[in-house]
């Protein structure tokens, strides 16, 4: 009887350990990034005008391709009339990563300054510029993670 009980216990233990899913490759990768850029991609569509008695919506996390370039200046790229970057004039991306269903992404990068853009059907998108006209500049420092929130707002009214 004791042997039967021990065998049953062994079978249940092995079954539960084999049934567990290992951590996904993406989550392991995000946890392993020690230097680079991590962030969230949020899409805002529709009316975001503040009005009395109503809270402004936050937007929705989305899956998008995030394209990282050496810092790009708006005067050196070709843009569409709607503001999308259609050509970086030969500047190649350093890395490309996809955000997950929660909109999160994380990418390992060497120390330096980068432009972070989002690939949209109409072209590359960014809506932040610094005082020198650099497109969404983010600085990566040695042994640090730079955090960012990328907002897709080309279909929103503010």
Residue 63 has pLDDT above 90, yes or no: yes
Question: Taking CA 138 as the corner, what is the angle to CA 84 and CA 157, rounded to the nearest 5 degrees?
Answer: 40
End-to-end CA distance of the chain: 73
> Which pLDDT does position 6 carry in this prediction?
41
Residue 123 is inside which H or E element, if any?
strand 123-125
> Which pLDDT does position 10 carry in this prediction?
45
Tokens, residue 151: 């907002």
Task: Convert 39-56 to b/e letters by CB count within 10 Å (16 or more is b).
Answer: bbbbbbeeeeeeeeeeee
Provide CATH code, domain 24-50+58-157.
2.60.40.10
Residue 12 has pLDDT above 60, yes or no: no
Give residue-wise pLDDT tens across range 121-140: 999 999 999 999 999 999 99
More confident residue, 118 or 8: 118
Rounded to whole angstroms, the Cα distance separating 72 from 68 reads 10
- For the residues 93-101, what does the mean pLDDT come to? 98
Going by the DSSP 8-state scheme, the letter that residue 122 receives in this structure is T
Average pLDDT score, the chain: 84
Parse the chain into domains and list their residue ranges: 24-50+58-157
Cα torsion 89, 94, 98, 100 to 10°: value is -130
Picking from 30, 59, 50, the residue whose alpha carbon sits closest to that of residue 118 is 59
Tokens, residue 49: 């005008």
């Amino acid at each position: 009887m004791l042997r039967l009980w021990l065998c049953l216990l062994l079978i249940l233990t092995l079954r539960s350990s084999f049934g567990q899913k290992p951590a996904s490759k993406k989550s392991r990768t995000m946890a392993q990034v020690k230097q680079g850029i991590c962030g969230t991609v949020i899409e805002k569509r529709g009316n975001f005008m503040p009005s009395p008695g109503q809270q402004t919506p936050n937007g929705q996390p989305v899956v998008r391709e995030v394209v990282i370039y050496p810092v790009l200046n708006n005067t050196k790229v070709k843009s569409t009339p709607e503001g999308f970057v259609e050509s970086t004039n030969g500047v190649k991306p350093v890395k490309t990563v996809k955000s997950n269903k929660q909109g999160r992404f994380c990418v390992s990068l060497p120390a330096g300054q980068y432009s972070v853009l989002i690939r949209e059907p109409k072209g590359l998108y960014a809506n932040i510029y610094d005082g020198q006209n650099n497109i969404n500049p983010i600085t990566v420092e040695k042994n640090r993670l730079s955090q960012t929130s990328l907002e897709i707002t080309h279909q929103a009214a503010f």
